[in-house]
Each structure stands twice: as structure tokens, then as C-alpha cells.
Structure 1
Amino acid sequence: MTLRKWFHLFWTTLLLGIIVSIGIGLILQYSDKDFSVMGLSAVGFNVLNMLLGGATISVLSQMGFFAYLIVRFIVAGIIKSKTIWNLLQLAIVIVVLFDLVYLRMTNFEGTGTVFSYIVLPVIILLISLGVAYWKVRLTNRNAFIPTLFFMCAVSVLEAVPALKLDNAASSLFMLAPLLVCNAWQILILHKILENKKS
């Protein structure tokens, strides 16, 4: 990867994070009167904070993406069997989605039904499956499990600050740009590295 390609990835991801954050933030602000960024309710000031929040979330997404690529490179040197590595990734995805339900339900007990805690992991799983399917269409079938792992496990790990709150608006404000940025990076990676579809 050249510096020019990395700049392209960085700035496009940053722009996507900002656009999605401002869009989601404005929708939340006009649909939920209690929603405000940093406790302030002035629209102009909130748009500036949404812009900064989106930029921060996109940079967090990029840090997670490069951390995943480094971990994947290291694990590929340790675990020689691609089947074992894929099974390990699937197991981690299942554990992360289960923990997302169980830990939130136990931490926020009494504030919702079991169904209300299952909705978020199901949405994340469906989005991840869609992105993984799209990645397979763009590249090859070997990309399905790594993409699913990145979109589920890494996205949930990156979103921990928002998931610690029992607030749907906070989760949406962080998860929407995070998932969009993660999807963008994983879907464009093969073009940046110029890997041809086999």
C-alpha cells in the first residue's frame, strides 16, 4: 500500500464518517427532543459537534481496521490452517453477539425485555452478513468469514463506549457511522491493494 492509496482511504473514510454522523445526528435531534450532543441543544453548535464526533468515529474505525489487519497477519503466521482460523473467527463472532445480549441485559436489568436486547445484535449481524456477501461478490468466497468477523466483532469492540449506555440514540449515533466506515474500508481494500477477482 502506497502513501497515496492510504491517504485516499483515510480521507474518504473520514468524509463518510462525518456525513453519516451529521445525517444521523440531525435525524435524532429532530425526532428525539431529548437528544443533544455533549448536553447542548443549539442546532448549529450540535452540527459542529456531530462533525467532530463523526471524524473521531471514522478515525476510531480506521484504527480498528489496521489493528485487525495486523492481528490477521500475525495469526496467519501462527495458525497455518485456514480452516482453524475461520472456525476461530466464527466462534468469536458468536461469543461477541451472545455477550452483546447477555452483558447488556445483566448491566441494565429491569429497563427492557429480552427482545429489546436481541434487536441490536440481530441488526449488526444482518448488516455484517450483507457486507460479507457483497465482499464475496466483489472478490471471492474466501472473504466471507473475515469480513463477517471484522464487521461483527471489531465493530462491537469499537462501539463499546456507546454500548455501555442504555440509550438507543447514543448507540445509533456511534454505530451507524462506525458500520458505514468499516464496511467502506473492507469493501474497498481489494481495490486499494489491486487484488484481482479470481
Structure 2
Amino acid sequence: MKSRGLVRFFFSILAVGALITSIVGFALKWGEYKELFINLEIGEIFSVLLWFVGVGMIFSVISQMGFFVFLTVHRFALEILRSSSLWNWLQLFLILFVAFDLMYVRFLFFGGSGESIIGYAWLPLFLLVFGLLVAYMKQKQSSKKTFISSLFLMVVITALEWFPALRVNEEDWLYLMLFPLMGCNAFQLLMLPKFAEK
């Protein structure tokens, strides 16, 4: 990819992160922000929007770093293991391990007495289903060999990027960070070949 394409790619991901974070941010706190829109308080709306855009750009940079780590680890693993099938099995194990841990470990640390583990299952399940959908789209776009690696990026790498919000375990931050990361990772995975062609 030429440097101009790389810069365009970088700023496109920044825009994706900013847009998704702004939409999710306003949706999460709509009860608070509704009055601003009703009273047309443009200054307040703009300052809140600016904050969401800034936070979204930070999330998109985290996503880009995770994507670069994924590409590097993927290449090294193929070189070291000398077998793509062995690397695929290892990735599959890590995907299942991380998906289970996102439910079970969060329940161990943050679950209250009498609380069910089922309440902690839906976010990892949502991430897994979204990852399967994106991996399927990537497979259709290129080849069947990309399916497990794409799923690995969408589940394992996204979970690593999401770790700061997971540690805090505040519901708003969990959603505010997860959706932009998922969107940015999916965008990078599906759009990189198109930017490289240009």
C-alpha cells in the first residue's frame, strides 16, 4: 500500500470510531441529552459531540494498534509453526478460551451473591456472533482460509483492546468502548484490500 492510501486508511478508521462512539454515546445517555436537543442548546450539544468524537478517535487508534499486532502475530505464528492448520487450531482454542473467560472471569470478579452467570454471557455471545458474521463476510471476500483468522481478530484481539473497560466494569463504558472497537476492527479487516488496491 502506498503512503497516501495508508494515510487515507488511517483517517477513515478514525472517522468510523468517532461516528460509532458518537451514536452509541448519545444513545446510552439519551435521557440526559434529550433536553439539550429539545431546547436546541447547540453549544452544549457540540461540546458533548466533540468529547465523543475525541474518545472515538482514541478507541480507533487502539483498534489500529490491535490490528497491527494481529497482523504481526499472524505472520510470526505461520513462520514459527510452519503449519497453517496447527495455527488455525491454536486460534480456535484461543477464541473459545477468551469467549468463555469474558463470561466466567467477569462473573467471578464482579458477580454479586445470588446473581446468575447468564447475565454475563450475552456480551461475549454477541461478540462471538458478530465475529462469525464478519469472518463469513471476509471469507466471501477472499477465501475460506481467512475465516478462523478473521474470527480470531474479532474475538481475541477485540477482547484485548476492550480490557480497560472490562477492568472498570461500568456498563456505559463497556458498551461505549466495545461497539467502536468492533466496528473499527471489522472495517479494517474488510476494507484493507480495497484501500491496498487503490
With normalisation by structure 1, the TM-score equals 0.89
Higher helix residue share? 2
Partner of residue 184 from structure 2, selected from 181, 184, 188 = 181
Asked if the contact 1:139/1:190 (under 8 Å) is kept, the reply is no
Find the counterpart in structure 2 of residue 172 from structure 1. Answer: 175
SS in 1 for 2:54: helix
Task: Confirm whether residue 30 of structure 1 aligns to residue 30 of structure 2.
Answer: yes
1:39-97 residue CA offsets vs partner (Å, 9 max, x unmatched): xxx64432221111000000100011011111111111101111000000000101111
> Relative to 1, partners in 2 of residues 1:137 and 1:31: Cα closer, same or farther, differing over 3 Å?
farther
Shift of 1:31: 4.1
- Distance (whole Å) between structure 2 residues aligned to residue 70 and residue 114 of structure 1: 35
Shift of 1:32: 6.6
Q: Which runs of 5+ in 2 are unaligned?
A: 34-43
Partner of residue 148 from structure 1, selected from 143, 148, 151 = 151
Asked if the contact 2:104/2:117 (under 8 Å) is kept, the reply is no
- The more displaced of 24-33 and 3-12 is 24-33
- The more displaced of 111-120 and 71-80 is 111-120
Partner of residue 108 from structure 1, selected from 107, 110, 119 = 110
Whose Rg is larger?
2
Identity within the alignment, %:
35
Q: Which residue identity does 1:115 align to in structure 2?
A: I
1:119-144 residue CA offsets vs partner (Å, 9 max, x unmatched): 00000000000000111111111110
1:21-47 residue CA offsets vs partner (Å, 9 max, x unmatched): 1111111121478xxxxxxxx644322
Aligned length: 186
Find the counterpart in structure 2 of residue 8 from structure 1. Answer: 8
* Cα RMSD, aligned residues only: 1.5
Partner of residue 166 from structure 2, selected from 150, 158, 163 = 163
Find the counterpart in structure 2 of residue 55 from structure 1. Answer: 57
- Distance (whole Å) between structure 1 residues aligned to residue 178 and residue 110 of structure 2: 19
Partner of residue 117 from structure 1, selected from 117, 120, 144 = 120
- Distance (whole Å) between structure 1 residues aligned to residue 31 and residue 87 of structure 2: 44
With normalisation by structure 2, the TM-score equals 0.89
Q: Which runs of 5+ in 1 are unaligned?
A: 34-41
